[in-house]
Amino acid sequence: MLIDVNDIPREGLDFDQDFDFGSFDLVEEEAAFLEPVHSLVSVKKVGDEVLVKGKLTTRLSFICSRCLRPFEYGVEAAFDMAYLPEELDVEKEELAEEDFGKFFYYHQQLDLREVILEQLNLSLPLRPLCSEDCEGLCPVCGELVQNGQCGCQVNLSDPRLEKLKSFLRDKR
């Protein structure tokens, strides 16, 4: 959805819109959309600067990075961004220090769809987990670990350190 910066009225624009993205648009390869991305966005122009403030919500399906089971994940993200015209991107020496955290719009247009997708990707977990206390899979048998046990015996001793263990036992 392209917004022509010159057409933004003094009072700004408000959008309440759903966006359908494909799963290939997400940075997390195993994620899939369960519903469209709902967004509430306010766009205001102050001089050459375009202020974009909004909120997005959606539900995604992920694969847990520990136990490999699918789970649903709700996303709620708020954002507040400022865009400057492309001319200032070319003339970087004219930017003030406070402008370095700002973004740029090109050809007097702002792509709201790209803004929403970028903010969605930034709000996704780096390592999706079905729950914080997920114990994952057993490194020996590959079964799902529940309540700290999977049933197999894990020998955590390192045979290279057996001499040191016996030395420490004898010293006591």
CB proximity list for 151: less than 8 A, separation 6 or greater? 141, 143
Neighbours of 56 (CB within 10 A): 21
pLDDT beyond 90 at 53 = yes
What pTM value is reported for the model? 0.73
Determine the pLDDT at residue 101.
Answer: 64
User: What is the per-residue pLDDT across 57-70, written as a single tens digit (0 to 9) for each?
Assistant: 999 999 999 999 99
The per-residue pLDDT for range 37-51, each reduced to its tens digit, is 999 999 999 888 889
Query: Is residue 139 scored above 70 in pLDDT?
Result: yes
What's the pLDDT band for 15 if we cut at 50, 70, 90?
Answer: very high
* C-alpha to C-alpha distance for 44 and 147, rounded to whole angstroms: 53
Is the model more confident about 123 or about 105? 123
